[in-house]
Amino acid sequence: MKILLIRHGRTAWNKELVFRGGADVPLDRAGVSQASSLAARLRRVRLAAVYSGPLSRARRTAELAAAPHRLPVTVLPGLDDMRFGAWEGRPLADVERTQPQRFSCWQREPWNLRIPGGTTLRQVEKRAWRTLRAIVAQHRTDDAVAVVTHRVVLKLLVLRMLGAGARGFWRVALDPCGLTVADWDGSRFMLERLNDTGHLREQSGRDF
């Protein structure tokens, strides 16, 4: 089966380089446009289902992708974003300035970081992988499904598919509304496309 892994469209906090996590930041105008362009691209794909994380930026992206297919969006908690705890709502530059040691850990070895009030990469990977395996178990091998979620979640899923771990976190770049495609043959995943943004007029060029 084909799994279309989609990062949600842009929000104001993506543009302003502000940590999001559990903050329910909606798509901005550019993000809605990105999601609409993605929906147009996927119009000819025979989707069997569309899944999304619970935050509005993921749900709205999923709703726009699902609309041409007249499909409901199934919201799954396991596709929710990482929690950044005390960093949520704070600009990247502010965290770097006020918490240089923790920020350095995030940049160098995020798999060892625990932000106060947040979740770890290991926790996010465990629930997201369990959710993805539950999705594929519900479908036939000739189905195609869309899975709309967040940057951290997608990075960890891609790395797990490749047999790598969270240590490769910064070796994968994912733009807002980028499309990643994987194939599941019933026993293993094979990555076919990574962060395809050919449907977007403007590309952010920043993995944030």
How far apart CA 163 and CA 189 sit, in angstroms, is: 10
Average pLDDT over residues 48-63: 98
- Helix H or strand E segment including 4: strand 2-7
The residue to which tokens 């380089």 are assigned: 17
Region 2-196: CATH code: 3.40.50.1240
Question: Does the structure show a pLDDT above 90 at 22?
Answer: yes
- 11-20 pLDDT, tens digit per residue, is 999 999 999 9
- 116-136 pLDDT, tens digit per residue, is 999 999 999 999 999 999 999
162: tokens are: 């490749």
Sheet holding 189-196, edge to edge: 73-75, 49-52, 144-149, 2-7, 179-184, 189-196
Query: What is this structure's pTM?
Result: 0.96
Q: Are 74 and 49 in contact (CB under 8 A)?
A: yes
Please choose, from the candidates 70, 64, 71, the residue with its C-alpha nearest in 3D space to the C-alpha of residue 49: 71
